[in-house]
Amino acid sequence: MKFLIVCLIIGYLLYKNNSLKKSLSILNQRINNLTIEKNNNSNQNSTLNQNYKSTEEKIESIKKSTYYYKEKNFWDSSLEKEVYFYINNFIKNKSAKVEIVPHVSLRELFKPTSDFNNQNLKQLSSYHIDILLLSEKSFVPLVAIEIDGSHHKLNDRQKIRDAFKDSLLERNGIQLLRLKADNCNYAFIESELTRLLNTAPIYCPICGRKMLEKNNSKSGKKFFGCSGFPLACDHTESSCYKII
Ligand SMILES: [Zn+2]
């Protein structure tokens, strides 16, 4: 009987010992897993550190960039070049109070709204205005000139591009002169530019705000006064002021 009891006790102890070993091995496994996770995290950190570039490294990588190349010709066509120099001479001879800039990217003129997508941004970056007339000194866009020479094929892509530009210019109060093969002559350019510039708003050469037609309170004489008056700007021009 005593022998049986001793056997039972030894058996129980052996069983306990085994389950203890199992628990220990599970615990060890967990510790190992934790160590592996920790190592993985530190590896990720070192990868992040490898991706981090100092300003000097970024400058070096920009210097090596091969994404861009120099375009051969600044002008889209010889007609565009000819019209630009003709208008440049015309406004100088007339002492028009405008600045002239050729080949202006839409990106320079319009700021995208926050809901713009990548496609819209691409359109804005890749399209340009052939010639732009801006107000003297304050550089507010007044008239955009597009030259649709014989190269200007009216396929669907071109129609969409034209519509995009036209609506953008109209919504932002910039007048458009579209020169086509049948009207691109000097007499038409001169008369249309004179008409468009004479109807364009006058902008203050000092601050760029619109000039308003006002009456002198004492003499009753008419003059143009800056809309920034009296807080921001007190610039005035005589009532004879004309852009062209
Ligand atoms: Zn002003």
**99 CA to middle of ligand 1, Å?**
18
230 alpha carbon to ligand 1 midpoint, in Å? 10
Cα 202 from Cα 206, distance rounded (Å): 12
How does pLDDT run across 83-98, given as a tens digit for each residue?
999 999 999 999 999 9
Interval between CA 234 and ligand 1 midpoint (Å) = 6
**187-224 burial by CB neighbour count: b if 16+ within 10 A, else e?**
eebeebbbebbeebebbbbeeebebeebeeeeeeeebb
The ipTM is 0.99
Q: Are strands 141-148 and 236-238 parallel, antiparallel or unpaired?
A: unpaired
Q: Which residues of the chain have pLDDT under 70?
A: 1-50, 151-153
137 C-alpha to ligand 1 centroid (Å): 11
Rounded to the nearest angstrom, the distance between the alpha carbon of 138 and the centre of ligand 1 is 9
Annotate 133-157 with DSSP letters as a single string: EEETTT--EEEEEEEE-TT----HH
Closest to 201 (Cα-Cα) out of 213, 210, 192: 210
Largest CA distance in the chain: 135
Q: Which residues surround ligand 1, an ion (CB under 5 A)?
A: 204, 206-207, 209, 226, 228, 233, 235
Query: How far is ligand 1, taken at its centre, from the CA of residue 229, in Å?
Result: 7
Q: CA nearest 241: which of 197, 207, 187?
A: 197
Distance (Å) from CA 71 to ligand 1 centroid = 39
pLDDT of residue 154: 75
Spatial contact of 110 and 120, defined as CB atoms under 8 Å apart: no
- Asked if 86 contacts 94 with a C-beta cutoff of 8 angstroms, the reply is no
**What is the DSSP secondary structure assignment for residue 117, as one 8-state letter?**
-
